[in-house]
Chains A and B, each alone.
Chain A
Amino acid sequence: MRKLTTALLAGLVLTAGAGAALAADKTEISVARFFGACEADYGTVTDVTKANGECGIITALINKFNAESTTTVVKPEIVEWPGYDQLTARIRSGEPPVISVMHEAVISDYSSRGLLEPLDEDFAKAGIDVNDMTDASRQGVTKDGKIYAMPFDTHTWLWHINMNLFKEAGLVDGAGKPILPKSTDELMQQAQQFKDKTGKPYFISTLANETAFYTRTFDTLLYQQNVDFFADPTKVNFSAPEAKNALQLLADIFSKDLTTKNQDYAASVSAFAAGEGGVFICGTWLIDTYDQESKKDGALANGYAVTAFPQLYAGSPRVWADGHSWVLLKQDLSDAQRASAVEFMKFLWDNNYEWARTGHLPVRKSIIESEQFKNLPHRGDIASLAVNGTALPSAVKRQFSIQEIEGEEVGSAMRGDKPVEQALTDAETRINELLANAK
């Protein structure tokens, strides 16, 4: 018995030692990402098809990569969205992660200072066909003729709809589709009708502690009116009467109590799932989450729909858009580290369909055109977004800071803290001051 125990223990020690040696042989690379932390639910999941939502799918993807790769171990470093302050500090202190997730709108700020590695040659060697990239994603990661990132998705702004409440409000047509406004007047009338019938606000909005809602909605309303507010990439122009119309519309929605008013992102995401309002204006990334909710008992049970931002103004159907991508930070990397980084990017490229299940638009033409993608829930309802998603011109610097300032000023006017004209003038002055001093 004692011999058996000794043999078992020796075997265990050898196995553990061999495992440790195997792990030690692998090259470790750090990958900084947002998308949240969900180790409790997905910490050991390697079957990506079993994961849902942004956090679940990226966690499972990394788990799968670590399980399958014979050469590389990815060490995820989870940061609070959007994480650029932290990334900037890490770069400045000489300790950047090997790979970081980055919005396409931000890439040029870093690439223009030589902080990112160009990836054209690495992609060619790894077999990543850049011609398979969608036009939007390829444009988003290409700066000064070079590719600086592996695109991961294109995401846009849209309407998540609680069909159960829409039915109660009489806003569902004979075909079971939501009746959506075709003008600002119709919007106000339908929102009031919704409120009268259900006792709830038409909109759920993320108005506290975040500026994304204000900027993305306002930009979309400007695009819809064909306002080219960055005709000159070094100066913003909000002086058009269309800008005032758009901001006044948001202020009216707020002052007439047609939206929830004090929710932060987490509260508004939960509020829509709990049926506290009819429409949640947010991004593509929640489609899968709410689709899963609609399969359970609750406020969204069998009653979730999603649609592109309705056309409220006669103009263009363009809508705010951006994209997530993966960049390789410039630093003293060994050949093995660089090879591991490209191996991980190739893995993400190969698994782009899995990421597209979140609701984001894929970055590969071959996936967008595939039946597999088209058969995902609600994708037919948002197909137009692939064409209409619009980003700021890539020559515009400091796009995240601009979005922060714009959001603050739009928010001030929407909430009634500042007159509409004053907010537009202040936004213009502050952004132009920022751009005048941006290198």
Chain B
Amino acid sequence: MTDATLSPGKAVAAVKRPTGASIGPRWSNALFVAPYMVFYVVLLVYPLFKGIWMSMLESDMFDDTSKFAGLANYYRLFNDKIFIGTVWNTVLFVLMTVPVFVAIGLLLALALNRSDRTSATLRAIFFGTSVLSVTIVTIIWKMMYMPGNGAIASLMRLLGLEPIAFITTASLALPAVAITTIWWIIGLPMMLFLAALQQIPGELYEAAALDNASRWRSFWSITLPSIRRTMLVVVIYEIVAQFQLFGQAQLLTQGGPNNASRPIVLFIYEQGFRSWNLGYAAAASEILFLIMAVAALAQFFASRKRVEE
């Protein structure tokens, strides 16, 4: 019988067992993860580093003679009032939407966490909007927001109120985009919370009921701790997703009025595809990447600390 002693941190050659099986590293196993790794490297790692490199070039969309510019694009970005405005708009948009996704998503999940037919129908309805394309969603909401014949304007007139010009008023344009986005995407956090709620053992609630715990007490002491990890997933996913706001703003407001609803990704798009200034667009992309990474990591560490406590 072969005796193999494994010590941590020490590479050990594969040792053959009489049965044909072996312990220790077998590099052929890498083949199982190779397909994923190839796509990961080609579609994520390479573009990431290529993007960083491009951000340091003075590069034009159709010019093959890019020249190294160091940090000039970043310097230009930090002195660009429009870009600074887009950073502020995007952060504001994330602050407007992510807490709402968590609060309303959880409320809907709690309300629809039943097995009756009405709940199933309502779940399908609330999730249904998520399958629509951004084009359809913005057409629907344009028809809602139009101050002339829009649905909201008609309702306001019915109530004797003056219609509000949501998408052409600087202070209302970004909230209008946020409302559209919440209506569109709320189904996903709801479903994630529903899945988490259905994992909580019923015995916990039965024990709480035997102890005469109120519904609020049960929610606070059983439900919330049990779905904390899902909440973390929802928050991080939504932070990452909402920082990438693009289609709704481009189609509803085109970033206006007065740049009040222009997000970072629209700025990147305009610099890249309209001004053909790829280096500058790449630099803005790297800034967005950093902001998203910091925001998501901050949330992750803060939540992990709370879970450990």
Contact = CB atoms under 8 A, between A and B. Distances in A.
User: Do A and B bind?
Assistant: yes
A262 B258 contact: no
Given A267-B148, A437-B280, A88 B273 contact: yes
Which of A89, A92, A210, A430 has most B Cβ within 10 Å? A92
Interface string A406-417: 001001100101
Contact of A262 (B168, B274, B275): B168
Given A88-B61, A208-B167, 20 more contacts: A85-B273, A89-B273, A91-B62, A115-B62, A209-B256, A262-B148, A262-B167, A267-B148, A267-B149, A398-B275, A400-B274, A404-B274, A408-B259, A411-B256, A412-B259, A415-B168, A426-B81, A430-B82, A437-B275, A438-B276
Which of A411, A412, A437 has most B Cβ within 10 Å? A437
B168 A261 contact: yes
Interface in B271-295: 273-277, 280
A113 B170 contact: no
A125 interface: no
Contacts of A123: none
Which of A85, A207, A209, A438 has most B Cβ within 10 Å? A209
A363 B276 CA distance: 31
Say whether chain A's binding surface is mostly helix, strand, loop, or mixed.
Answer: helix
Contacts of B63: 113, 439
Contacts of A85: 269, 273-274
A23 B274 CA distance: 38
Contacts of A37: none
Interface string A118-131: 00000000000000
B239 to A, nearest CB: 28
B62 A437 contact: no
A113 B62 contact: yes
B192 interface: no
B165 interface: yes
Contacts of B149: 267
13 contacts: A88-B273, A89-B273, A91-B62, A113-B62, A262-B168, A263-B148, A400-B274, A411-B256, A412-B257, A417-B258, A417-B260, A437-B275, A439-B276
Nearest to A267: B148
A89 B275 CA distance: 12
B275 to A, nearest CB: 5
Contacts of A426: 81
Given A262-B148, A430-B82, A84 B258 contact: no
Interface string B66-96: 0000000000000011100000000000000
Given A113-B63, A401-B274, A418 B280 contact: no
B274 A415 contact: no
B133 to A, nearest CB: 15
A262 B280 CA distance: 33
A141 B291 CA distance: 45
Contacts of A415: 168, 170, 257-258
Which of B82, B165, B257, B260 has most A Cβ within 10 Å? B257
A434 interface: yes
A401 B273 CA distance: 10
Interface in B214-238: none
A398 B62 CA distance: 13
A408 B274 contact: no
Contacts of A434: 275
Contacts of B80: 433
B242 interface: no
B248 interface: no
B254 interface: yes
B146 interface: yes
Interface string A158-173: 0000000000000000
A209 B253 contact: yes
A400 B149 CA distance: 31
Contacts of A417: 170, 257-258, 260
